[in-house]
Every structure is written in structure tokens, then in C-alpha cells.
Chains A and B, each alone.
Chain A
Amino acid sequence: DTGVSQDPRHKITKRGQNVTFRCDPISEHNRLYWYRQTLGQGPEFLTYFQNEAQLEKSRLLSDRFSAERPKGSFSTLEIQRTEQGDSAMYLCASSPGPEGEQYFGPGTRLTVT
């Protein structure tokens, strides 16, 4: 068990470009979550998967954001046409069940210039 991993750890992109982040959950965890954290704030929920099904999406997840979890294993979060306001830390978490502890990855820091 190596914990939740995220790739890349840092991403700098120009406004208008598309970016994609990857999250690998703990292997036996069937639930996966994405959060966004801006400087000085706590994480804010974006979306949640149970296996490959995306069961909940926050209002924060605009049309430019899309998340997938093919085959119920790793997940990707894509942001299209990035804006400066998208600059944040994107956190992934996984849990073994609905009431189980959420284990967080180290995050991907996105900077949009």
C-alpha cells in the first residue's frame, strides 16, 4: 500500500490551454474524490466516484471540468481552456467505503499564467 498518488505534482500552464491530472487511489478503495484547495482555504469538494460511476458533482465543477474513472481504478481530471482562477491545489482522496476515512494524496499544484 503506497497511498494515494497524484501526477504531476506541479503544473504551470498558459491561460487557454488544457490540462489533465491523474490520481491513483489506494488499490482496494472503490471510492474516489476530487477536491480543490486555494491558498489559505480548506479543500472544496468537486466530484466523487464509486467504482467507475460518477455519483456526485459540485456546482464548482463548471463545464470546462471533466473527470473520469475508467474501469474503476485511476481517475483523471481535465480542465479545458484554463483560466487564472483555476490556479489551485487539486487534491484526490480515496476511501474503502461510504463511511470510511478519506485518504488524501499530495495534490497537484496548478498555476495558470
Chain B
Amino acid sequence: GDSVTQMEGPVTLSEEAFLTINCTYTATGYPSLFWYVQYPGEGLQLLLKATKADDKGSNKGFEATYRKETTSFHLEKGSVQVSDSAVYFCALQGRGRRALTFGSGTRLQVQP
């Protein structure tokens, strides 16, 4: 079945550092890929998405590129801020499916 694997956290960075959170997936066909973010005390929010190979999703300075050859969708940001501290979830939606399959989440802590 479909699955998503994320790097374990917590990831602790200093403000303005470069961020990478790895995400790889297993799915039949070509799924849509997503990054969701959960800020403390809040619900899940869609951060960015990509629906086909080589698409790059971007939002709020975060980027991720759909890499079919490596089945990856790594999240990157050039310069993190304290306000980026949250839990980040990689997810996929299989073709023809409605349910999202999530990874286990990666907690990011950004220190001033």
C-alpha cells in the first residue's frame, strides 16, 4: 500500500539557517504530494503541494520538488525563522483516491 517516510525529529536550527526535511514515498502510479504544517495549538494547514513529476510547490519561502526517479519530495527553506517552529507532515494522495496518507511528522525547533 501507499506509505510516506520522513526524517525523524526534532530538528533544531538557529534562526536564518538552511532547512531540509527529507520525505520519500511508496505509491502505485503517480500520486499528488503535499506538505502540511501544524503550529502549536493549531490544526493542520496545507503548506504546499505538487501534482506531477518535476513540479515544484512553494509557499512562505518553503519549496519542495516532486522527484519521481527518487520518489522524494524534500522540504527546503533557505532561511528559517523562529515562527517556523512547528511539526511538518509529508503526505500523498494516490491517483483515484481521496484519502491522504501521512508521514509521522518532523518537529522543527528554531532558536533565536
Residue numbers of A with Cβ under 8 A of B are 4, 31, 33, 35, 40-45, 48, 55-56, 58, 91, 93, 98-99, 101-107
**Please, how many angstroms separate the alpha-carbon atoms of A35 and B43 in the complex?**
12
Knowing A31-B98, A42-B91, A45-B99 touch, does A101 contact B105 (C-beta < 8 A)? no
Knowing A48-B98, A56-B98, A98-B98 touch, does A42 contact B42 (C-beta < 8 A)? no
Contact with A along B28-69 (1 / 0, CB 8 A): 000010001000001111100101000000000000000000
Interface size class of B (residues with CB under 8 A): 20 to 34
Q: Name the B residues within 8 Å of A103 (CB-CB).
A: 46
Knowing A42-B89, A42-B91, A43-B44 touch, does A33 contact B99 (C-beta < 8 A)? yes
28 intermolecular pairs with C-beta atoms under 8 Å apart: A4-B43, A31-B98, A33-B98, A33-B100, A35-B100, A40-B104, A40-B105, A41-B104, A42-B4, A42-B91, A42-B102, A45-B99, A45-B100, A45-B101, A48-B99, A58-B99, A93-B44, A98-B98, A99-B32, A99-B51, A102-B46, A102-B100, A103-B46, A104-B36, A104-B44, A104-B45, A106-B42, A106-B43
Q: Tally of A-B residue pairs with Cβ under 8 A?
A: 50
Given A42-B91, A91-B43, output 4 extra A-B contacts at Cβ < 8 Å: A42-B89, A99-B51, A101-B46, A104-B43
Q: Name the B residues within 8 Å of A40 (CB-CB).
A: 104-105
Q: Name the A residues within 8 Å of B102 (CB-CB).
A: 42-44
Pairs A-B, 6 closest by C-beta atoms: A42-B102, A45-B99, A104-B44, A106-B43, A104-B43, A48-B98
Q: Do most interface residues of chain B lie in helix, strand or loop, or is the interface mixed?
A: strand
**Please, how many angstroms separate the alpha-carbon atoms of A106 and B104 in the complex?**
18
B50 smallest CB distance to A (angstroms): 13
- B104 near A91: Cβ-Cβ < 8 Å: no
Taking CB as reference atom, which chain B residue is nearest A3?
A: B43
**Please, how many angstroms separate the alpha-carbon atoms of A87 and B54 in the complex?**
40
Q: Name the B residues within 8 Å of A4 (CB-CB).
A: 43
**Please, how many angstroms separate the alpha-carbon atoms of A88 and B91 in the complex?**
19
